[in-house]
Chain A
Amino acid sequence: MAPVIEMRGIQKHFGAVHALRDVNFTLGPGEILGLVGDNSAGKSTLMKVMTGAYARDGGDVLVDGAPTQFRSPQESRDRGIEMIYQDFALCGNMDVGQNIFLGRWPRRFGLFVDRPRMYAEANAVLKRLKVDVNSVFQKVESLSGGRQQSVAIARAISFNPRVVIFDEPTANLSVMATERLLETMAELKRQGVAQVIISHRLTDIFEVGDRVMVLKRGENVGDRYVKHTTEREVLELIVSGAPETALTADEALAKAA
């Protein structure tokens, strides 16, 4: 299947630091990809290059095979790429409906906010996501962390994205909330949304992920299909992988066979 997103030979410098070195990345439609690696491996940087939050110094980003030059996350959003930030980036003083439509509240007469439509659509999005947020009129600051994340996801979903990037989604969640989140991810996958999970917790990735990609000091050190690998093997890649011996998931599969 043709990948939704492909990145080739990405280079990124921060002053003297070479943050990304010739990194390749692919994401298939409906695929859940775990992006793992140590701190400062370049996971977040790679995703920010993808969404246009950072300008790359070299390489190509292709969406549906066509090269792109995103200059801001808004531009990548227009092409169906959504990112859910670790702290959810919501306005606590506003209610759930207002947050789901943050910055693009439906208009009436070009100037006013169409409240009935906003809340009706917000309800519809929450239903589609199958999350339990009591009321679209509730202020976000009165919700628990897990529920706030649900709102953030609902917001992302309401754009009808093809790709959703989760930045450390389980870092601040309770066990229960994590379970719910993983269910939500599986639901999104059923709806054909490709997902990238940046995470330290391999357990979560092994539960819902299809493939796991390992970065180390800004370089590819290989990726594997979750079905055909073990947490142990991925940990070894994280700790002692090297770009010279990197295998793609398909190569690793062929080698094992």
Chain B
Amino acid sequence: MTSVASATPAAGRPASLPLQLAGGWEVGILVFMAALYGVGVFINPGFFGSTDAISSVLRDTARYGVMAVGMTFVIVNKELDLSVGSILGLVATVFSILYAPSHLDLGAGWATFGAVLTGLTIGLINGVLVTRLKVPAFIATLTMLFIGRGFVLGLTGGKTVAYERKAAADGWFFGWGETNAFGFNSQILIFAVVALLGALALAKTRMGFETYAVGDNEQAASYAGIPTRWVRMRAYLLSALGATLAGLMIVAQDKGITSQYGGGAELVVIAAVIVGGASIAGGRGRVVGACLGAALVVLIDKVLREGIPITREIDVGGIKMEVQAYAQLPPGAVPAFLGLILLGAVLIEPWAIKGGGAARVWALLRRRAAPPAADRGEAAIVGAQTRGAGSDARGVGATGLRAFLARRDAAAILLTVGLWLVGLWLRPDFWGSLDNSFNLLLAFTEIALVSVGLTFVLANADVDLSVGSVLALSGAIAAFLMKELGADPAVAVLCALAGGTLCGVVNGLLTVRFGLPAFVATLGTFYIARGLGAWLVAGRQLSGFSESFNLMGRNLFEVLAWAGAAPSSGLMLAVAKAVSVQTIFLGVVALVAGVVLARTVWGQMIYAVGGNERAARYAGIDTRAVRFWSLVFSALCASAAGVIYVAYYRSFNPSAGQLRELDGIAAVIIGGGSIFGGFGSVLGSLAGAAAITLIRSLLSLQLILADGSSFVMPQHWMNVFIGLVLIGAVVGDIWIRQENILARLVRRRSGVS
């Protein structure tokens, strides 16, 4: 089953071998691409009509294609590498830092060496995290994505690095980014070689066969003596190698970098591989398909980014003038479409092919009886094991400190207290002050709100990667409605909440109705929601909203003053100044959510679904409804945080809520949740959110050194630390809480001696 047995069986008749060998799917992509190029020529003949366009599409395809070849190995393995864009950026950055005369000024050879080393190191870390430390692939590589981005920003300081003059002397390296003697860009040559090698390796060698076996049934593969961990590790190394090569190709071409390089590349690459016929469920996919997919996605990207030439009529002093202009998508909006493509491509497999959706549509068209929907195996007798391995037995019968340490939220509470004390130790003059405490509380609200929603989702054994983007979309809707349409604040808030919640509905439908893994569905909305938000505000910062709206982000004193009932003195004044509207809102939401999760039947259902979905289904629980509403609730919390964000800052920035998904997931896991579901409490998540807030605020604390000078850690490095915290939390949860491996190691040690 290595080939793409897709298009023809879906139509309900047996696939004929020759067509399959010819690659029916690949032919389909080519036809679609030709049609799309026709559309491009039609809407923008100035650009797509020229041969430059073809060579520029091919040149960009070369880089994404090289990455797609590596990614194919990862996806066929039933895994995902979200870090490729980051690796590309970091490799390009390391090369530039080493090579640029303004920085280390080494030779191109040394720079290349350093760059390759960097790329392979990240691949190795990905592989170790996933195969050795058993961290789910999406969470490990997503964290590496943000850590990598953090390094790029930290190393470049957000600035551009260029070295065009020095590059002229190193033609042997930089020539690879140029047009060669045959009249085409040499990157295309590199791509062709890599694609050929990759295709041969995957389709014709043992290495490829091992990959398919591991992707389809890892247990069977491991019984058959295949070193499955090495096979998976190897895929991550190949993927990192592809991204490294792409990074070197881009510096060879541009002879300089900006800190934005590689942003969102993972989206294009994953979409490319899946459009090319690979399955997110593993065991299926071809290098040829992935390369064609890359060309297709790059083409779509180009068509979207190139504007449509329009003629606008303007009136200058009574004289009508026709002006040539371009109707273009605002920056940041393109990912919305790429996210849609990703979700569409992912849905092809489970819905159209396995679910028989296409066959049913086809039968309907021919007016025949539709074939029955595939048996979902609702009550198959074999299935998942009762999970877990004795992590909570420790708590039984323990008293005092031991009982506390056995609590799943112990880490969060200890961490919160410890971090606060560290802050007090570093800045005794400032940390304990009311000012700082209120600021901490305000920063806490956003993270805590998102965490409360995520607690439900993670307890269900799902995940919501889209919370940060939903926050941005909701904020954008509110800002857009008030600023551009002059809407009433109440209407704006309602629309913002509705828009954000709609994202949750989409997440929920994709997850429970179409059976996508939650991380894939929410990864799609992660890009779509942020793209839509950026589109709404046209990538600009909006501010200047009515003060009645901004009151939602103020403290009680200002609210009362606005209402003309400000307390003048005494305790009331202190309380009113200390407590803000958002804190009260958070308190109410957290209280309700906490009671629902801990005390009601609905909460029990959530834990049951997260612990063993099949068992819950047998017990008559509507597991789909439970998972659906949790995802909706998470989106609702995120959109409420978005509205508060706008009110608090009195403005909206399209980068609002970036990294909030990491903060939220880390908070829930530190607070006792598990990435595998079934655990977590609202109280624990609040403690976890407090810990994250404190980490963030400690990292931006201005330190006063012994010699009187002060030091602030550059903001650029923040991502790196937050990423490390998340990975630490996930690994700690898996290795200490779930498996209790540390205790077992200690026991074995003492047993031997």
Contacts and interface: CB of A to CB of B under 8 A. Distances in A.
Given A91-B607, A140-B386, A48 B393 contact: no
Given A94-B611, A135-B396, A167-B381, A141 B391 contact: yes
Given A103-B616, A103-B619, A141-B392, A93 B611 contact: yes
Q: Which 7 A-B residue pairings sit nearest by Cβ, starting from the closest?
A: A141-B388, A103-B619, A91-B611, A93-B678, A92-B388, A53-B379, A142-B393
Contacts of B386: 87-92, 140-141, 148
Nearest to B390: A142
Nearest to B598: A113
Contacts of A54: 379
Contacts of A93: 387-388, 607, 610-611, 677-679
Contact of A141 (B389, B602, B605, B616): B389
B384 interface: yes
A98 interface: yes
Contact of B601 (A44, A91, A94, A105): A105
Contacts of A77: 620
Main secondary structure of the interface of A (DSSP, over half): loop
A139 B599 contact: no
Interface string A127-149: 00000001101111110000010
A114 B476 CA distance: 44
B225 interface: no
B315 interface: no
Interface of B: 378-379, 381-393, 396, 599-605, 607-608, 610-612, 614-616, 618-621, 677-679
Interface string A35-66: 00000000010001001011000000000000
Given A112-B599, A141-B388, A94 B393 contact: no
Contacts of B603: 113
Contacts of B612: 89-92
The winner among B379, B391, B614, B621 for most chain A CB atoms within 10 A is B379
Contact of B382 (A74, A86, A91, A139): A86
Nearest to A115: B599
Contacts of A102: 608, 615-616, 619, 621
B620 A113 contact: no
Contacts of A105: 601, 604
Given A102-B619, A103-B616, A111-B600, A87 B383 contact: yes
B22 to A, nearest CB: 29
Contacts of A141: 386-392
A232 interface: no
Contacts of B396: 134-135, 137-138, 142
Contacts of B678: 91-94
Interface string A86-129: 11111111100010001111010001110000000000000000
A86 B614 CA distance: 13
Contact of B607 (A94, A107, A111): A94
Given A104-B620, A112-B601, 11 more contacts: A85-B383, A87-B383, A91-B608, A91-B678, A102-B616, A111-B601, A138-B396, A141-B391, A142-B390, A142-B392, A142-B396
B596 to A, nearest CB: 9
A73 interface: yes
A88 B388 CA distance: 14
Contacts of A138: 393, 396
B387 A113 contact: no
25 contacts: A48-B379, A53-B379, A85-B381, A87-B385, A89-B383, A91-B607, A91-B611, A91-B678, A92-B386, A93-B607, A93-B611, A93-B678, A94-B604, A98-B607, A102-B621, A104-B619, A104-B620, A107-B601, A113-B604, A137-B396, A138-B396, A139-B392, A140-B386, A141-B392, A148-B386
Given A73-B618, A103-B608, A104-B619, A139 B393 contact: yes
A179 to B, nearest CB: 22
A103 B601 CA distance: 8
Given A44-B381, A74-B620, A91 B615 contact: yes
Contacts of B604: 94, 98, 105, 113
A103 B393 contact: no
Contacts of B391: 139, 141-142
Contacts of B614: 89
Contacts of B619: 89, 102-104
Interface residues of A, number: 38
Contacts of B390: 141-142
Interface of A: 44, 48, 51, 53-54, 72-74, 77, 85-94, 98, 102-105, 107, 111-113, 134-135, 137-142, 148, 167
B600 A53 contact: no
B27 to A, nearest CB: 30
A72 B618 CA distance: 9
Contacts of B679: 93
A139 B387 CA distance: 11
Contact of B381 (A72, A86, A103): A86
A134 B397 CA distance: 11
A113 B388 contact: no
Contacts of B383: 85, 87, 89
Contacts of B393: 138-139, 142
Contacts of A91: 386, 607-608, 611-612, 615-616, 678
Contact of A139 (B381, B388, B610): B388
Contacts of B621: 102-103
Contacts of B389: 141
Contact of A85 (B378, B607, B611, B618): B618
B378 A53 contact: yes
B381 A113 contact: no
A241 to B, nearest CB: 24
Contacts of B388: 92-93, 139-142
Given A111-B600, A137-B396, A48 B381 contact: yes
Contacts of A90: 386, 612, 615
B382 A87 contact: yes
A44 B381 CA distance: 8
B721 to A, nearest CB: 31
A151 to B, nearest CB: 9
A165 to B, nearest CB: 10
B98 to A, nearest CB: 49
The winner among A86, A91, A103, A140 for most chain B CB atoms within 10 A is A91
Given A48-B379, A93-B610, A139-B392, A87 B384 contact: yes
A49 to B, nearest CB: 11
Nearest to A88: B386
B601 A89 contact: no
A112 B392 contact: no
A146 to B, nearest CB: 13
B622 to A, nearest CB: 10
Contacts of A72: 378-379
Nearest to A135: B396
Nearest to A118: B604
Contacts of A112: 599-601
Contacts of A111: 600-602
A183 B383 CA distance: 27
The winner among A72, A89, A93, A102 for most chain B CB atoms within 10 A is A93
B237 to A, nearest CB: 35
The winner among B383, B387, B604, B679 for most chain A CB atoms within 10 A is B604
Nearest to B679: A93
A11 to B, nearest CB: 16
Given A138-B393, A141-B390, A103 B605 contact: yes
B173 to A, nearest CB: 55
A185 B397 CA distance: 32
B669 to A, nearest CB: 15
A189 B679 CA distance: 38
A102 B621 CA distance: 9
A90 to B, nearest CB: 5
Contacts of A86: 381-382
A113 B605 CA distance: 11
